[in-house]
Amino acid sequence: MPTSNTPYDDVFRTLLNDCSQLIIPIINEVFGEHFSGDEKIVFSPNEHFINMQDGEEAKRVTDAHFAIYGYIVKMYHFECQSTPDNSMLVRFFEYDSQIALDGSKLIGNTLKVKFPHSAVLFLRCNQSTPDKMTIEIETPNGAINYDIQVLKSQNYTIDEIFDKKLLFLIPFHIFSHEKLFEEYENDTDKLNPKFPTQNYTLLSKL
C-alpha cells in the first residue's frame, strides 16, 4: 500500500521526535501503565519491508514504534488515524508481525517472537467507533487473541487533557470542534473562549 503523509501525521511524528516524553502519559492512559515520565524511550526505525507472495518486497511505514525502559523493557506500536477504515487491522497485523520478526530470537529449534503493545489514536469518533479492536490468530494449537487498544481524542475535554497531563493531544483537540466551526465563525464569544490561567502556567513549563 502506498504511504502518504497528512498534516496530522506530520504533527504526530513531530511531537514524538521533539517532545517524546509527552507520549508516556498517553501510554499510561491507554494501557493502564504507571510510568513516572522519567523513563528512557528508544525509537526504532519506522520502515519495514514485507515479503509478498509474488516475491517482491513491500514497504510499510509505522507512525511510531518504540521501547520504554522501566522495570522491564516494553515495546509499543502506536498509530494515528483520523477515522477507522477497513484495512486498519490488516495493517496492524502486518506491522506487528514484522516488528516481532525484527526482534525475534532463534533458540535451538524454537523461534521466539514478541508482539508489541499496540494502540491507535482516533482523531474523530462516533457511536460505532470501537473501544478496542482484536486480531485472532488460529494456530494448530488453538486460537490466540491480541487487542489493539483505542484512544479517542474527541472524548477528552481541554480540562481533562491538562488534568491527566495528556498534553500530546492538544494539537488534535481542534477535531472536537470541527462540527461547530460555522457556529464559531458567527459568534465571537465562542470563537475566543477564555483559556484557564493554570493551563497557561502548565504550558509554560514545557
Write the DSSP string, 22-50: GHHHHHHHHH-----S-SEEEE--SEEEE
Element holding 119 (H helix, E strand): strand 117-122
Percent of the chain at pLDDT > 70 equals: 75
pLDDT at 32 over 90: yes
3-state secondary structure 137-196: EEECCEEEEEEEEEEEHHHCCHHHHHHCCCHHHHHHHHHHCHHHHHHHHCCHHHHCCCCC
195 within a domain of the structure (yes/no): no
204 within a domain of the structure (yes/no): no
1 within a domain of the structure (yes/no): no
For the residues 18-38, what does the mean pLDDT come to? 94
Which cell numbers hold the place of 30? Answer: 491507554
189 within a domain of the structure (yes/no): no
119 near 30, Cβ under 8 Å? yes
State the Cα–Cα distance between residues 87 and 2, nearest whole angstrom: 13
Backbone angles phi and psi of 95, in degrees to 5? -60, -50
Per-residue CA distances from 90 to 50, 135, 180 (Å): 13, 9, 34
187 within a domain of the structure (yes/no): no
202 within a domain of the structure (yes/no): no
What is the rounded average pLDDT for all residues in the chain?
82
49 within a domain of the structure (yes/no): yes
pLDDT at 175 over 90: no
119 within a domain of the structure (yes/no): yes
Find all residues with CB under 8 Å of 165, minimum gap 6, and list them. 25
State the Cα–Cα distance between residues 69 and 35, nearest whole angstrom: 9
- 110 class by beta-carbon count within 10 Å (0-12 exposed, 13-18 middle, 19+ buried): exposed
Of residues 69 and 61, more confidence is placed in 69
State the residue for C-alpha cell 490561567: 197
Q: What is the pLDDT of residues 194-203, one digit of tens each?
A: 655 555 444 5
Domain carrying residue 14: 7-178
pLDDT at 173 over 80: yes
Q: What is the pLDDT of residues 111-164, one digit of tens each?
A: 999 999 999 999 988 888 899 999 999 999 999 999 999 999 999 999 999 999
41 near 21, Cβ under 8 Å? yes
Q: What is the pLDDT of residues 103-120, one digit of tens each?
A: 899 999 999 999 999 999
172 near 184, Cβ under 8 Å? no
Number of domains in the chain: 1
82 pLDDT band (50/70/90 cuts)? Answer: confident
